[in-house]
Amino acid sequence: MRTTFDTARAEALFASALQSSDQPSTAEVRDAVTNTLLALGLRGCAARVAAEFGDHPETAATRMHWAISTIGTI
């Protein structure tokens, strides 16, 4: 079951510069989430997600799936 905290972390990972093709380690994912939350805040991450879904829905859905899946494993 996904929590609000997991959702916020997934949004931060989505908004980060980290790419799924990088095959990031757990530490890299945690660092990316932390740094993105510090830089953008919760609302900034959510705004970035919304903008990407508006501008590029075909790739945003794939990226969000990756972010949710990745957060679920750490």
* pLDDT at res. 20: 95
pLDDT > 90? residue 66: yes
- pTM: predicted TM-score of the whole model, two decimal places: 0.94
Query: What pLDDT was estimated at residue 2?
Result: 78
Q: Name the pLDDT band for 11 (thresholds 50, 70, 90).
A: very high
Average pLDDT of the chain is 96
**Count H helices, E strands: the chain?**
3, 0
Buried b (16+ CB within 10 A) or exposed e, 8-33: bbbbbbbbbebeeeeebeeeebeebb
Contact between residue 66 and residue 20 where contact means Cβ atoms under 8 Å apart: yes
